[in-house]
Amino acid sequence: MALPEMSCDEVNDADDPSPVITSSSSDHDMTTTSRHYFGDSTANSDSFCIAIIESMKEDYGLFVWPCSIVLAEYVWQQRLRFSGVSVVELGAGTSLPGLVAAKVGSDVTLTDDANKPEVLANMRRVSDLNNLSCNAMGLTWGLWDADIFSIHPKIILGADVLYDTSGFDDLFATVAFLLQNSPGSVFMTTYHNRSGHHLIEFLMAKWGLKCMKLIDGFSFMPSTKASGLSGNIQLAEIVLNS
């Protein structure tokens, strides 16, 4: 029998004095629940925890990738920009940045590849587990299903969505469409800078986009979180070049 997923409220704090990320697992269904903390609970009454259900199955969308931890922390630190605005997360997978946005007051739609029912189902489970009411829907980059015409995000999030160069063009096509559909909107993304920015720069020019901000993802991470991460993670804010 599988163990139930535990929300943050159900964790015994006495066993867990000052966690940054903690996890519990069930061998039966190969899932683990990791908990991610935002703010300083001793100093800040706004602090909170998000529980994420992860799976060891081989699917990119069922694991919390480091870029997601970095983008989620950025959302928390930039929370005033997120209050009361409409947010869409692309390639959300386990959805940590989108759930943080919902927690700080955004109206959030979580999206992932429409052909991945398990990932979409998990997005709904993590939203429920954290008592959040995010929308969840399939949105495959480069495809124009009816649903995409109904969303007008002020902020588009994407953590580790620039990981396979064969998908970059479709991703930027979708991002450009959403930015055009919602004037004044911004795409915030974190990615591993593995081979320079040449392809990203080329595709931004192709799709009429420009980078407004490019920062080292580790520059704003609390040391307790940064110590568990590695790589060269960049955070970019991208807008229409008009």
The residue ranges that bind ligand SAM (CB under 6 A) are 60-61, 64-65, 67-68, 91-94, 112-113, 116, 119, 140-141, 159-161, 163, 167, 170
Q: Which is nearer to ligand SAM, 141 or 172 (CB)?
A: 141
Q: Which is nearer to ligand SAM, 39 or 138 (CB)?
A: 138
Radius of gyration over every alpha carbon of the chain, rounded to an integer in angstroms: 17
CA angle 34, 36, 37 (to 5 degrees): 150
Terminal C-alpha separation, the chain:
56
Q: Cα torsion at 164, 73, 18, 127 (round to 10°)?
A: -70
DSSP labels for 89-153?
A: ETT-TT-HHHHHHHHTT-EEEEEE-TT-HHHHHHHHHHHHHTT---EEEE--TT---GGGGG---
Smallest gap, in angstroms, from Cβ of residue 14 to ligand SAM? 30
Q: Which is nearer to ligand SAM, 15 or 164 (CB)?
A: 164
Q: Which is nearer to ligand SAM, 94 or 127 (CB)?
A: 94
Smallest gap, in angstroms, from Cβ of residue 61 to ligand SAM? 3
CA angle 17, 19, 60 (to 5 degrees): 150
DSSP state at residue 58: S
Q: Which is nearer to ligand SAM, 61 or 82 (CB)?
A: 61
Smallest gap, in angstroms, from Cβ of residue 102 to ligand SAM? 15
Smallest gap, in angstroms, from Cβ of residue 28 to ligand SAM? 24
Smallest gap, in angstroms, from Cβ of residue 67 to ligand SAM? 5
